[in-house]
Amino acid sequence: MVSYLSFLSPFAPFFVTFLLLFLLVEQISYLRKKRNVPGSNIILPFMGNAISLTTKPTSFWKVQADLAASLGFSVNYIIGRFIVFIRNTELSHLIFANLRPDAFLLVGHPFGKKLFGEHNMIYMFGQDHKDLRHQIAPNFTPRALSTYTTLQQIIILQHLRSWERLSSESPGKPIYLRLLARDMNLETSQTVFVGRYLSREAREKFRDDYNLFNTRLMKLPFDLPDFAFRNARLAVERLVETLSDYATQSKKRMSEGDEPSCLIDFWMQETVREIAESKTAPPLSSDVEIGSYLFDFLFAAQDASTSLLLWVVTLLDSHLDVLRRVREEVSRIWSPESDTLISAEQLREMKYTQTVAREVIRYQPPAALVPHIAMKDFPLTESYTIPKGTIVFPSVYESSFQGFTEADRFEPEQFSEDRQEEVIFKRNYLAFGAGPHQCVGQRYALNHLVFFIAMFITVLDFKRHRTEGCDEIMYCPTIFPKDGCRVSLSQRCPRYPNLTLN
């Protein structure tokens, strides 16, 4: 060992010189890309500000937003990648409008392609993306949505019943809604998307794998054995394999003339029809591809919806006048003691509840950031060009607080028929995205939120257990209240529909 070190010692000065030169070149490269844009002036080698991003994501993005106040954007450096944070709404639209090979690609996650795999809607553009959106259109027709609403309501009621029971078992001790809401939404997504193809055992395994992926999503992207990122990637592979198998089963059922009972059935019914008419399978319709796209839906529906449900409870608790008006409206239209679910007509009549749902989405947009990657140098402004390879983060959250009359307040009346600020300030209302990748399931998502509001406030009484800073935003990866929404629940309505899934 001593002789080995003696052999290496003459090379030590060269190694140190090389290392210092490498660090100097990295720093110069960063400053050259940064130019005069607000952002860190000195970066840690390779890591940049990755530690701050992963350990204190809320404060990290708050600093980026503050730095961006003057020019509308700011810069930073994360694990060898130069990043640009965009606060200005018009600059965000510029990114959303330029999804193409010579401008930007949506990545969904800073290291998403490795995590989500090749067959993924997030990375599609051009004609392939248009063709796929055309194929999935039957999944969100009024007929399909009416099938989903029954499933959504039954699952919501079942979980509200279990939440109330859980809370009553420990009087005075709050329960944490975050994990409970996540489990409810995962069951909703499973049932709506692939319903009858999931056995009880498969549901448990599916839930375990999704939670494994979800809890490791924002960890450092080291794809090595036993590292969190590797475990998340492998969980995604297993989930896609499972969903691909359900696509195979659904195609068989639909080809035999069965009626659709879940989203994949509506999708495969149309696919089977196209195959029968043209004698060839439409593009992008292999079972593996469909499994990957279904995982996209799951990812999009799951965390964003959980985030919104928690903010509903948080905001209604702190705005009792809004809570009172929602309860008055819902009680005029639907009674849980009727032993019936909310009909499509009743849902349309809940106009104020709809405005509350839309304002929750504006005030706390769950997917606060939408990362893209610059495929080539792109002129963002007259004085600054985004370098090729940069990860760009348009901030949906910051846009939500621009333009609206009372942008900094929770004010559902902004979405009333009289004011219609979601139309007037449409460019600032970006929670469902903009451009070619605008969310195709936004009506489904809004229905789910309205059903939850109507049933939660009618069936249950709730008390939020507030602590200092409990409403602060946490990124994980969508935004949540810092305390996970701690509440006590009690029964408000003595009887409500006790329905089960077929």
Identify the CA nearest to 473 among candidates 318, 370, 363: 363
| Residues forming a β-bridge with 395 | 369
* Beta carbons of 60 and 67 less than 8 angstroms apart: no
Number of H helices, E strands in the chain: 19, 12
* Beta carbons of 448 and 159 less than 8 angstroms apart: no
**Which amino acid, residue 405?**
T
In this structure, what is the dihedral angle of CA atoms 142, 146, 148, 152, given to the nearest 10 degrees?
Answer: 130
Rounded Cα–Cα distance for residues 31 and 39 (Å): 10
Query: Does residue 493 have a known ligand-binding role?
Result: no
| Residues forming a β-bridge with 372 | 106, 392
Q: How far is CA 89 from the centre of its chain?
A: 20
ω into residue 477 within 30 of 0, thus cis? yes
Identify the CA nearest to 446 among candidates 370, 360, 367, 368: 360
Please name the residues in contact with 160: beta carbons below 8 A apart, sequence gap of 6 or more.
Answer: 455, 456, 459, 460
Which residues contribute to the annotated binding site for heme? 439
Binding site: which residues? Answer: 439
